[in-house]
A and B are shown apart, each in its own frame.
Chain A
């Protein structure tokens, strides 16, 4: 938990979908985004290659900002602002 610029509380929700395949990473990401409040950060960690591009596509379709996409070996980490 962090304090935002306006003194609001920013919660970070972590979603671990390492080893999961289509469509689970996308679905679990959407579930977390539904649980999150506006301003919260959702961090998705996974290994499924297609989801690395498709989660940002879903965010675009949902009108949400992707803050970062990071790679570490065969793992990726996507940070999304709800």
Chain B
């Protein structure tokens, strides 16, 4: 088993993007490799200005819930998703964008933060990455 964490980021919910990036950063910090495979609703978060745009998975309440959670996060000094993504890239984390999702949802490369993306792939890329990973998660 390789020392690697591979995470499928299927959800685009703000709180779940936090989970994915925190776990990815944690893996890199502990000396593992990390890959995040963004697909479906998750891929929306790789659009320009999309990273912080997700809803809260529960109690979103037309944005009121998200606003409250954001406020509490600021109070607790939680890093922004932008900062977590910067750290993730700085520590060598890989980002893979799902090509099928791009096709289905009509997303073009120029719509995405291509500076973050290392590879565009399909299921084969995920399996290839995950087959020798010691941690794989679906978020």
Contact = CB atoms under 8 A, between A and B. Distances in A.
Nearest to A60: B30
A52 to B, nearest CB: 15
B30 A26 contact: yes
A62 B30 CA distance: 6
Interface in B8-34: 22, 25-26, 28-32
A58 B31 contact: yes
Interface in B76-117: 76-79, 84, 87, 90-91
B91 A61 contact: no
A29 B28 CA distance: 11
Given A30-B91, A34-B91, A20 B29 contact: no
Interface residues of B, number: 16
Q: Contact residue range for chain A?
A: 10 to 19
Nearest to B92: A34
Given A30-B91, A61-B30, A62-B31, A23 B22 contact: yes
A1 interface: no
Contacts of A23: 22, 25-26, 29, 79, 84
Contact of B26 (A20, A26, A34): A26
For the complex of A and B, list the 9 residue pairs with the smallest distance between their C-beta atoms, beginning with the closest: A30-B29, A26-B29, A62-B31, A58-B30, A61-B30, A23-B25, A27-B87, A61-B31, A23-B22
Interface of B: 22, 25-26, 28-32, 76-79, 84, 87, 90-91
Interface of A: 19-24, 26-27, 29-31, 34, 57-58, 61-63
